[in-house]
Amino acid sequence: MKFIATLLISLLSFFHLAHAATPTETVEYATESVISELQKIPAEGRNTDEVKRLVESYILPAIDQERIAKLALGKHWRKATKDQRSAFIDTFRDLQVRTYTGAFKAFDGQKFEFQAARFNKSGKKAIVKGYMIQPSGQQIPLDFKLFVNKQQEWKIYDAVIAGLGMVTTYRQQLSQELQNKSLDEIIASMSGDVQTAQR
């Protein structure tokens, strides 16, 4: 009964945050929830499956998967079929899970600090600036870009770490690969990489 009660409270808390959170609260909830859970697990017991579960529970819900995939594919999104877009979104999501899982699995005491969000003129987009603070005290700039969707939820659509934008980096890589490969080949390759990494 205690487990069920805790689970219900967690779900209700996230439901409330997803609908009422500010951009900064959205980012803080996602990152701090993962770290809070990781701190309960000894480093030697922090296996890939456990960290992946945390990423899927807290990080993924804060990200707009379609928007980030569309931006990463850039101009090639317009040429893609409906099936290709759907396949790319799913594969790109799995790639993010692998990336975040690897990053959080290496967690060894980092902390995050974020500032109040800065909004654009329409109030529909925001950027949350902050730092990832290493145990040594080194501060690494970390910015999240968000937009408010039709459900009035703030969702992340890009992250910039130490000046390196995730969407821009992926877009450049994909654009270069698409000069020599078809989108279907790239999706198959990405899917194969994820499956290999999960074994």
**pLDDT tens per residue, range 142-187:** 999 999 999 999 999 999 999 999 999 999 999 999 999 999 999 9
Confidence of residue 41 (pLDDT cuts 50, 70, 90): confident
Give the list of residues 6+ apart from residue 126 with CB closer than 8 angstroms, or none.
Answer: 23, 117, 118, 119, 120, 145, 146, 147, 154
CA dist list (Å): 118 to 18, 50, 59, 76, 162: 19, 34, 21, 30, 18
Confidence of residue 42 (pLDDT cuts 50, 70, 90): confident
Lowest mean pLDDT among 61-70, 101-110, 112-121, 130-139: 101-110
Instruction: State pTM to two decimals.
Output: 0.83
Task: State the pairing for strand pair 125-133/139-148.
Answer: antiparallel
Model pLDDT, residue 45: 79
CA dist list (Å): 87 to 53, 59, 184: 22, 20, 9
pLDDT exceeds cutoff 70 at 4: no
Q: Return the CATH superfamily for domain 2-198.
A: Tgt2/MlaC (3.10.450.710)
CA dist list (Å): 20 to 138, 151, 197: 33, 10, 36
Domain chopping of the chain, boundaries? 2-198
